[in-house]
Amino acid sequence: MKIGVIGTGTIATAVIHGIADDDHHIFISSRNAQNAKVLSDAYDNVLICENQDIIDKSDVIFLGLMPDVATNILPDLSFRQGQTVISFIADLSLEAVGALVMPAKAAAMMLPYPNIANGNSVIPMMGDKTLIEEIFGQNNALTVLNSQQEINALLCAQAVLSPVAKMVDDTANWLAENGVDKARGEPFLRLLVASNLQELPAAELLHSLNTEGGYNQRLRQHLDAADMPQALYEGLDKLSD
């Protein structure tokens, strides 16, 4: 497949790493010159081009741009009939992207995460599921959304990743202060959280960890009493305003 990528920020770079070994011809922009050089040096099938050249050479085009940048540069580029666009721009609806890339088709929106570089990532997406599965489905799991409202809600909810990572980091620091060096404590905590949540739905895991007087129950009750759930809801509501 001939794939063009407009934008070489952190997320677009991760996406390219994730598909570069899949027998595609990939044309990338030099918007982030350092990332672009790393990619082109690492893969023989990744070539740095000017934006219009990327479009001219590609059948499928990824847009990894900030919304204001997209609305500034895309109208000056010439897309063609039969091209397919996949947007990573959560703050622009598919309809808005479609208007910017006519006569190409804005077929799908997806919200990649950095771990897509190595596969085994969750990919929230809306639109052409078959296309996303063809390019990414072999190594990743798709969460299919049905409307911009669902995209907006999930965009807010996925921000829980940062406070969860902060809680793990803080707990690893507490372990270090109590005799377990961080180089051993943090990997334990990461695997503990990831493996248990992957095996069981959250409600079932909470029930299984609710032994009367147990460590898990006591810490959770302490955090509940400190209004942590309320703070979470308030934070999510503010993101969605």
Sequence length of the chain is 241
Residue 65 has pLDDT above 90, yes or no: yes
d(CA 7, CA 28): 7
Check residue 42 and give its pLDDT.
96
Residue 132 has pLDDT above 90, yes or no: yes
Check residue 90 and give its pLDDT.
87
Task: Return the domain boundaries, the chain.
Answer: 2-146, 159-240
Check residue 148 and give its pLDDT.
87
Residues 135/125, Cβ–Cβ less than 8 Å? no
Residue 91 has pLDDT above 90, yes or no: no
Residues 109/125, Cβ–Cβ less than 8 Å? yes
Check residue 88 and give its pLDDT.
96
Mean pLDDT confidence for 84-95: 94
pLDDT band at 52 (very low <50, low <70, confident <90, very high): very high
Residue 30 has pLDDT above 90, yes or no: no
Check residue 137 and give its pLDDT.
87
The answer to whether domain 2-146 has CATH 3.40.50.720 is yes
Mean pLDDT confidence for 193-212: 94
Task: Indicate if the alpha-carbon torsion angle 46, 52, 56, 61 is positive or negative.
Answer: positive
d(CA 31, CA 9): 8
Q: What confidence tens digit (pLDDT) does each residue in 31-47 have? A: 788 999 999 999 999 99
Check residue 25 and give its pLDDT.
97
Q: What is the average pLDDT score of the chain? A: 95
Mean pLDDT confidence for 61-81: 96
Q: What is the pTM of this model?
A: 0.82
